[in-house]
A and B are shown apart, each in its own frame.
Chain A
Amino acid sequence: MTGVGTEPPVLRLRDVSVTLGGLPIVRGVSADIRAGEFVALLGANGSGKTTLLRAVLRLVQHQRGSIELFGVPQEAFRDWGRIGYVPQQVDPGLLTATVREVVAAGRLPLRRPFVPPRRGDRQAVERAIGEVGLEEKAGTQLAHLSGGQRRRTLIARALATDPELLVMDEPLAGVDVATQQSLADLLRTLTTSRQLTVLVVLHEHGPFADLVRRSLLLQDGRLVFDGDGFDPGLPHEFHHPPEHISSHNDWVPAYPSGPEPEQGDA
C-alpha cells in the first residue's frame, strides 16, 4: 500500500479461512497481490495452497475473511474475464474437442449469448493459440496431443480472455523436465508481451526460479512466509532468512527439500 498510488490490489486476501468436510484447510491467510507481480504459492501436499487458489476463483466457498478482486468484494465481482484460470489438468470432457474449440471457450465472458463470435473474438483465439505455439495443432483434438501441448492449450484458453490476472494450478506437475523448461520459457515471453499479474501454485520454483518475484509459503493452511527468494526446492542452507514469519505460527523449516511424488492437493 506504499507508493503504489490509489490503484487497488489485483487480489486482496483478509484472514481467509476455508473448511472442507469439517477440516480446516486454509486458516486465516492475508495477503495483497499487486499488478505486475509474479507470485508463487508454495507448500507441501495438503498445505492448502490449491484450496486457497480455488477459494480465490470461487470454486470453493471460504467461511471466514474476505477476498477482493480488483478492489471489488468477491461476492459482487462480475468481471471474471479479467482472470485467466489454468487448471492443472485437461478435463476428460475436452478430449474430443479441437484446440481451437477449447481456446474459444476463453472468450465466453466477453461474448453475448446467441451472438456468433465476432472477428475480434476469432483473432483473439488465433493470437492465443499462436502465443503458445500451437498454430499447427489448432484443428487437432486434444486426445491426440502430448501432455505439454494440452497444458499449452489450457494456457491459450486463459489468454483468449485477455486476462489481467493469470492463475495457474501446478503447471509443472506431471510433465517432463524439457516440457517444464519450455513452459517456463513460454511464461517468460508472456509476462513481457502481455501485462500480466501471475499467481501460480508450485511445489518448488524449479525452472520458474528466475520468474518468481515473491513466494507465499503455506504450511498446514497458514501463511508462514511471504517474501522473495525462498524456494523450498533448494536445500535449506541456500535459503535466505525469512523476512516475515506470521506471528501465530512458529515456523520450523520442516519442508522437504524436493518435490513429492504424489500430485494433487487437499
Chain B
Amino acid sequence: MSTILSYPFMVRALIGALLTGLIAPTIGIYIVQKRLSLLGDGLGHVAIAGVGLALLTGVTPLPVAITVAILGAVLIEYLRQHQRASGDVGLAILFYGGLAGGVFMSGLAGAGGLSQYLFGSITTISDADLMMIVVLALCVLVVSIGLADRLFAVASDEEYARTLGLPIRFYNYLTVVLAAVAISLSMRTVGLLLVSALMVVPIAAGRNLVTGFWLTMVVGMGIGVVAATGGVLGSYYWNAPPGALIVLIAIGVFIVSLPVGAALTRRRRAGRALPVAPEVVASPHEQENEAGHPHVHGGPDCHHPTVRHGDHLDYVHDGHRHAVHGDHYDEH
C-alpha cells in the first residue's frame, strides 16, 4: 500500500475515486427515486460530446464536459416537464447524438485517448483536474446533503411537495444539474459510459440492506467508496480500466446484498413481537378442515368480511386478516 501511495498519480486517482464514490450514490438516490435510472447513462453520453469538443479544440476536457452535460441536463428536464409527445425520441436522439458526436470529434482531433474518458484511467488525472474535482465534488455534496429533505420530498412525492409551496421546478432542475456535474467529475475514475452504474447500483444494494431514505443514502455512499477505491487499486495491480472493475465490485456487493438483506428482514420481523391475541388461537372452530377452518373462505357459507388487498381478498377473521395461498392461509 505504501508503495502505491508513493506514486503521486495513484494518490490523485484514489482521492478522485473517493470523491466519485461519495457523490455518485448521493445524487443517484434522487435519480432512482424519480425512476430516472437511465438518465445518468444519457447524461454520460452527452458529456462525451463535451470531451470530443475539448479534444478537437485542444482545451482541458473536464470543464467542457461539465458545461455540455449541464446544458444537456437542462434540456432533458425541460423536455420532461413539458411532456412533449416526441420527448422520448428526443431524449434518445440527444443521447446517441452525444456519443456519436464525441467519438467523431475526437477522431477528427486525431487523439486516440477517448477511451480514457469512457472507462476511466488512473494515470491521467492532473493536479488541475484534481483541484477541480475536489472543489466541485464538495459543492455537490454540500448541496445534495444540505437540501436532502427538500430534494427527497420533490423526488418522492412531487404533488405533495407542490402543496407545501416548494419551488418544484427549481428543485427538479437542480437535481439534474447536480447529476450532470457528478457524472462529468467521474469521467477519469469510472468513466462516462459506466458512471450511471455507480449512481444506481450502490443505492439498489443499500435498499436491500437497510430501511429508509437516509440510511440507504449513507450505506450507498459507503458502497460507492468501497467500489470506487477498490476498483482503482485493482486496476493498478491488473492494469485494467478502473471503470469496469468499479462497476463489477458494485454489482458484486449488490448480489451479496440480496441474501443478506433477506436475512436481515427476517430477523427484524422475528424480533418484533407479533400482536397475536391468545383468544385468536383458541377461537372455537367446530369442524376444522386441514387448514384449520370450518369452511373455505369465499365459499357459500363464508360470512367473514372481505378486504381487497392488492390482487386478492383478505378475510377478516377473529381479529386478524388472512388470504388463501395454495393449501394454507397467509396472514396479512
Q: Which residues of A contact B (CB under 8 A)?
A: 57-59, 78-81, 83, 85, 87, 91, 93-94, 96-98, 100-101, 104-106, 108-109, 111, 113-114, 117, 139-141, 146-147, 157, 161, 174, 176-178
Contact = CB atoms under 8 A, between A and B. Distances in A.
Contact of B211 (A93, A104, A141): A141
Given A87-B159, A93-B155, A176 B212 contact: no
Contacts of B214: 101
Interface of B: 33-35, 146-147, 149-150, 152-153, 155-157, 159-166, 207, 211-214, 216, 305, 307-309, 316, 332
B147 A114 contact: yes
B224 to A, nearest CB: 18
B164 A57 contact: no
A108 B156 CA distance: 14
A105 B153 contact: yes
Given A91-B157, A96-B216, A139 B316 contact: no
Given A91-B156, A105-B160, A141-B211, 9 more contacts: A58-B163, A59-B159, A85-B160, A96-B33, A101-B214, A108-B149, A108-B161, A157-B160, A178-B316
Which 8 residue pairs are nearest across A and B when measured between Cβ atoms? A80-B165, A93-B156, A98-B212, A176-B307, A91-B157, A114-B146, A85-B163, A105-B153
Given A80-B163, A81-B164, A176-B316, A94 B149 contact: no
B166 A108 contact: yes
A58 B162 contact: yes
A223 B156 CA distance: 34
A81 B165 contact: yes
Contact of A113 (B146, B157, B160, B162): B146
Given A81-B165, A108-B153, A176-B316, A97 B160 contact: no
B149 A105 contact: yes
B40 to A, nearest CB: 18
A58 B92 CA distance: 33
Nearest to B275: A136
Instruction: Report which residue of A79, A101, A111 has the largest number of chain B beta carbons within 10 angstroms of its beta carbon.
Output: A101
Contact of B160 (A58, A91, A111): A91
Contacts of A108: 149-150, 153, 161, 164, 166
A94 B33 CA distance: 9
Instruction: Report which residue of B147, B161, B164, B332 has the largest number of chain A beta carbons within 10 angstroms of its beta carbon.
Output: B164
Contacts of A105: 149, 152-153, 157, 160-161, 164
